[in-house]
């Protein structure tokens, strides 16, 4: 019995009683859910394309769409880890505003350089993440309450430190973080690097599956044609994405930062021990603790990552507006949580993907952008997004009940 409890694969799976066929069904379900989400994005784009007379899908509009989703996407990268681990953080919108206001204060009022300011804000975001994580893991305060308290406290600190007035203008060097674009030639090279990296990871995964199948009689890897089809889709999307944005001003720098964060967080989730532990903690915390995993440390690191993402998002928000605003980040926590749930992250924890959360952020940004171009009243915009969120969670609950 003790050997079973301390087997490393138990922590990796999150539950000791999930049979291989069940895990295979979960993987297929996640894959088809993402395909359904991609189809939903395509239908949303087609609808707004028809309703706006084609302006919704012009290169400038697409560039603005991805720039608009970059901040929500950054928050979603961190939030998906928090939710997978079985926690929640309601303070991210206010923390985004506080850290963005700090960047404006340091550069405008104190004359700090942009490099030193960015490093300080990132360090402050990580430090606040440590404090939030310690309160949750050591003081045993529910993360919902910690986040709710932080949402109020951080907003109050922002208004106090800025005297509730906008701090502007920030230096051009800071503004360029959100207002500059990647040169076209570099964009093509980056697309090629992304495709090559995906191909290398696919070949590595297939090789490991073959070795495992020979040694442990593990299930066979997915058919080769499926992997090649996936690589073809990634290639078409990567080069098509660059081609469209280069027709505007190029790939916005915040979008490039988001893509780098997507790669880093996806690697953490799928190819590291820490990532497997995060899924395990959310899936079955007691079994994970019995298997020898330090649950408190895993949750602490999750909140540190969330703080870092708030820092990135705050810097980009301030740079894009060229000012630090006391109202920055209002509602950011709702957008991030909605993006995760729409992207297939389970509200129960233990299930979800980073790229799914970013697809959810793309859905939210597409709805915002399209309804604004159609001059839809802001009240109806909130109603539509609320209905989409409830529908996404209902689908998750219904499908999980059927599989159970």
**148-170 pLDDT per residue, tens:** 999 999 999 999 999 989 998 99
Structure token pair of residue 381: 């915009």
62 neighbors 366 (Cβ within 8 angstroms): no
C-alpha distances (whole Å) from 50 to each of 30, 55, 66, 364, 388 are: 30, 9, 20, 19, 20
> Residue 33 above 80 pLDDT?
no
Res 220: pLDDT: 62
Res 23: pLDDT: 47
Task: Provide the 3-class DSSP secondary structure of residue 374.
Answer: coil
- Beta partners for residue 251, in sequence order: 182
20 in a domain, yes or no?
no
Res 217: pLDDT: 56
12 in a domain, yes or no?
no
Q: What is the pLDDT of residues 247-259, one digit of tens each?
A: 988 899 999 999 9
277 in a domain, yes or no?
yes
Res 218: pLDDT: 56
19 DSSP assignment? -
> Residue 13 above 50 pLDDT?
no
Q: How far, in Å, CA of 218 to CA of 259, rounded?
A: 33
- Average pLDDT, stretch 125-135? 96
- Beta partners for residue 181, in sequence order: 252
Res 111: pLDDT: 92
The interaxial angle of helices 184-216 and 253-271, nearest 10 deg, is 10
Q: Pick from 177, 364, 329: which is nearest to 252 by CA?
A: 177
Q: Pick from 101, 68, 37: which is nearest to 258 by CA?
A: 68
- Average pLDDT, stretch 44-48? 92
Res 401: pLDDT: 56
292 in a domain, yes or no?
yes
- Average pLDDT, stretch 207-216? 68
Res 22: pLDDT: 43
Confidence of residue 385 (pLDDT cuts 50, 70, 90): confident
Confidence of residue 115 (pLDDT cuts 50, 70, 90): very high
Res 21: pLDDT: 46
19 in a domain, yes or no?
no
26 in a domain, yes or no?
no
User: Does 133 or 227 have the greater pLDDT score?
Assistant: 133
Host domain of residue 135: 34-403
> Residue 206 above 60 pLDDT?
yes
- Average pLDDT, stretch 307-311? 96
Domain total in the chain: 1
Q: Pick from 136, 137, 154: which is nearest to 145 by CA?
A: 136
> Residue 398 above 50 pLDDT?
yes
Q: What is the pLDDT of residues 167-205, one digit of tens each?
A: 989 999 999 999 999 999 999 999 999 889 888 888 887
Q: How far, in Å, CA of 234 to CA of 229, rounded?
A: 9
- Beta partners for residue 252, in sequence order: 181
Average pLDDT of the chain to the nearest whole number: 86
377 in a domain, yes or no?
yes
Share of the chain above pLDDT 70, in %: 88
Q: How far, in Å, CA of 126 to CA of 132, rounded?
A: 10
> Residue 27 above 80 pLDDT?
no
- Surface-to-core class of residue 287, CB atoms within 10 Å of its CB (0-12 exposed, 13-18 middle, 19+ buried): buried
Res 212: pLDDT: 66
Q: Pick from 273, 229, 180, 237: which is nearest to 355 by CA?
A: 237
21 in a domain, yes or no?
no
Q: What is the pLDDT of residues 265-294, one digit of tens each?
A: 998 998 899 999 999 999 899 999 999 999
Q: How far, in Å, CA of 4 to CA of 6, rounded?
A: 6
- Average pLDDT, stretch 19-34? 54
Q: What is the pLDDT of residues 319-364, one digit of tens each?
A: 999 999 999 999 899 999 999 999 888 888 888 899 899 999 999 9
Q: Pick from 71, 307, 336: which is nearest to 177 by CA?
A: 71
């Amino acid at each position: 019995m003790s050997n079973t409890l301390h087997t490393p694969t138990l922590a990796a799976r999150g539950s000791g009683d999930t049979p291989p066929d069940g895990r295979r069904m979960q993987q297929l379900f996640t894959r088809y859910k993402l395909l359904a989400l991609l189809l939903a994005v395509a239908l949303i784009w087609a609808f707004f394309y028809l309703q706006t007379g084609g302006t919704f899908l012009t290169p400038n509009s697409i560039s603005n769409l991805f720039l608009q989703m970059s901040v929500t996407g950054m928050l979603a990268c961190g939030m998906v880890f928090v939710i997978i681990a079985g926690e929640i953080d309601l303070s991210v919108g206010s923390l985004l505003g506080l850290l963005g206001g700090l960047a404006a204060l340091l550069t405008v009022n104190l004359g700090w350089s942009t490099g030193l300011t960015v490093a300080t804000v990132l360090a402050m975001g990580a430090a606040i993440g440590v404090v939030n994580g310690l309160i949750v893991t050591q003081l045993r305060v529910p993360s919902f309450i910690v986040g709710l308290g932080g949402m109020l406290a951080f907003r109050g600190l922002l208004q106090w430190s800025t005297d509730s007035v906008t701090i502007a203008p920030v230096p051009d060097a800071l503004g360029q973080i959100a207002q500059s674009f990647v040169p076209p030639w570099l964009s093509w090279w980056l697309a090629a690097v992304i495709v090559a990296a995906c191909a290398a990871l696919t070949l590595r995964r297939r090789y490991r599956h073959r070795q495992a199948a020979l040694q442990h009689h593990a299930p066979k890897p997915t058919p080769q044609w499926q992997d090649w089809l996936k690589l073809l889709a990634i290639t078409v999307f990567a080069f098509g994405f660059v081609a469209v944005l280069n027709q505007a001003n190029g790939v916005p720098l915040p979008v490039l930062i988001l893509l780098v964060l997507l790669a880093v967080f996806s690697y953490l989730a799928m190819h590291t021990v820490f990532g497997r532990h995060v899924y395990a903690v959310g899936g079955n915390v007691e079994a994970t603790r019995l298997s020898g995993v330090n649950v408190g440390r895993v949750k602490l690191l999750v909140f540190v990552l969330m703080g870092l993402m708030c820092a990135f998002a705050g810097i980009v928000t301030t740079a894009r507006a060229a000012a630090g605003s006391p109202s920055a980040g209002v509602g950011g926590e709702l957008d991030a949580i909605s993006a995760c749930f729409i992207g297939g992250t389970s509200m129960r924890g233990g299930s979800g993907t980073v790229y799914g959360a970013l697809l959810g952020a793309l859905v939210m940004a597409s709805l915002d952008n399209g309804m604004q171009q159609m001059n839809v009243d802001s009240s109806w915009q909130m109603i539509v997004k609320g209905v989409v969120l409830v529908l996404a969670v209902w689908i998750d609950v219904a499908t999980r009940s059927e599989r159970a």
